Amino acid sequence: MSKEKTVRARKSGGARTLRARDRARPTGRANPTHRADFLARAWAMEVEAAERYASFADAMDEHNNHDVAELFRKLSRIEQLHADQLLEETLSGRPPVLPPGGVQWDSGEGPETAPHGELHYRMQPYHALQIALACERRANKFFAAYASRTTDAKARKAALEMAAEEAEHAHLIEDWLKRTPQPEKDWEHDPDPPLVSD
């Protein structure tokens, strides 16, 4: 067994086979071509997503929408778990050195990071799951596009595996959505609206 210990990612039962030798050091550039850069970006992507969901949960708690807050907190924990697994299994447990200010993404923010503007103070769990589904789909597209672009065979392999995992996550959320009550038509209606009415 070489030092390049092969590990199998546990993330959602995914079949990601990656090596622990890579000490990832991403640059601030877009479109990295090396596997180490790729892994660091993948880790940063999960961390950013976890942080964003956590901030959404805080915002929802501030506005007494505790059901949605709890769901966002759960999504945050899931993303953080993915990040931790990636770190343990492919990055030797050592967080990669990121550029100052974090990774610069072509899309502005990490593909799996939910945009702030999608929130509404009266949103329901169904809406939160729709946001999460969009994030997983964007992540899937990101990895698939990366795999088709990179010239590094190992990075391509890892990207394809991660694209498959993100697709699996998207399916899980689709199932979750089916079990979640759909919002009523007037879900936005607030009997005590913030707008001045007299």
Binds other proteins by CB under 8 A, chosen from 67, 97, 149, 171: 97
How distant, in Å, are the alpha carbons of 68, 69, 122 from that of 189? 17, 19, 8
Binds other proteins by CB under 8 A, chosen from 32, 45, 78, 138: 32
Using rule CB under 8 A, residue 93 touches other proteins: no
Query: Rounded to an integer, what distance in angstroms lies between the CA atom of residue 17 and that of residue 27?
Result: 24
Q: Which of 4, 16, 177 is nearest to 82 (CA)?
A: 16
Using rule CB under 8 A, residue 187 touches other proteins: no
Our CB check for other proteins shows the closer of 42 and 167 to be: 42
Q: Which of 22, 18, 26 is nearest to 97 (CA)?
A: 26
Query: Rounded to an integer, what distance in angstroms lies between the CA atom of residue 36 and that of residue 38?
Result: 5
Binds other proteins by CB under 8 A, chosen from 121, 126, 176, 187: 121
Binds other proteins by CB under 8 A, chosen from 8, 66, 116, 171: 116
Q: How far is the CB of 90 from other proteins (least distance, A)?
A: 15
Q: Which residues of 36-64 are buried (b: 16+ CB within 10 A; e: fewer)?
A: bbbbbbbbbbbbbbbbbbbebbebbeeee
Instruction: Mark the segment that binds other proteins (CB under 8 A) among 9-17, 109-117, 133-141, 164-172.
Output: 109-117
Q: What torsion do the CA atoms of 27, 136, 9, 26 make, to the nearest 10 degrees?
A: 0
Q: What are phi and psi of 104, to 5 degrees?
A: -95, 120
Using rule CB under 8 A, residue 25 touches other proteins: yes
Using rule CB under 8 A, residue 115 touches other proteins: yes
Q: Looking only at residues 37 through 76 of this chain, which bind other proteins when binding is defined by CB under 8 A?
A: 37, 51, 55-56, 58-63, 65
Q: How far is the CB of 104 from other proteins (least distance, A)?
A: 6
The residues that touch other proteins, with contacts defined as CB under 8 A, are: 25-29, 32-34, 36-37, 51, 55-56, 58-63, 65, 97-102, 104-105, 108-109, 115-121, 123, 194-197
